[in-house]
Amino acid sequence: MQLSNNAIVPTKGSRFAAGHDIYALTEGLEPAKGQTMVERGIAIGLPEGTHGRLPTRSGMTSQMGIAVGGGVIEEDYTREVKVILRNHGYGDCLF
């Protein structure tokens, strides 16, 4: 469910993709060695007995040094999905 008019609905990168890509509500800058909570502007509903997972994309880590912190969405969580981004690199990164 979109919680903001600016939110982008999650998409699949290909028909064989294991999950959906999600997008930041606004662009931002993650400082070197910093951590930021990024708003997505979406909420999701999960089937009973399941959970959601927000893994780090390999390209984000290998190219930018960005990793997702936390990353588990419980089945009863119904509020906005936010993502903790951690910059393990030595330079600032745009997201």
pLDDT at 38: 93
pLDDT at 64: 86
pLDDT by position in tens, the chain (length 95): 889 999 999 999 999 998 899 999 989 999 999 999 999 999 999 999 999 999 988 888 888 899 999 889 999 999 999 999 999 999 998 88
**Helix, strand, coil shares, percent, the chain, to 5:** 5, 30, 65
Q: Which H or E run contains 58?
A: helix 58-59
pLDDT at 95: 83
> Tokens 């040094």 belong to which residue?
65
Are β-strands 72-73 and 29-30 bridged in parallel, bridged antiparallel, or unpaired?
Answer: unpaired
Structure tokens at 39: 């708003």
- pLDDT tens, residue by residue, 24-50: 998 999 999 999 999 999 999 999 999
CATH number of 1-95: 2.70.40.10
pLDDT at 60: 82
What is the Cβ-side half-sphere exposure of residue 4, based on CA atoms within 13 angstroms?
14
- Which residues share a beta bridge with 53? 72
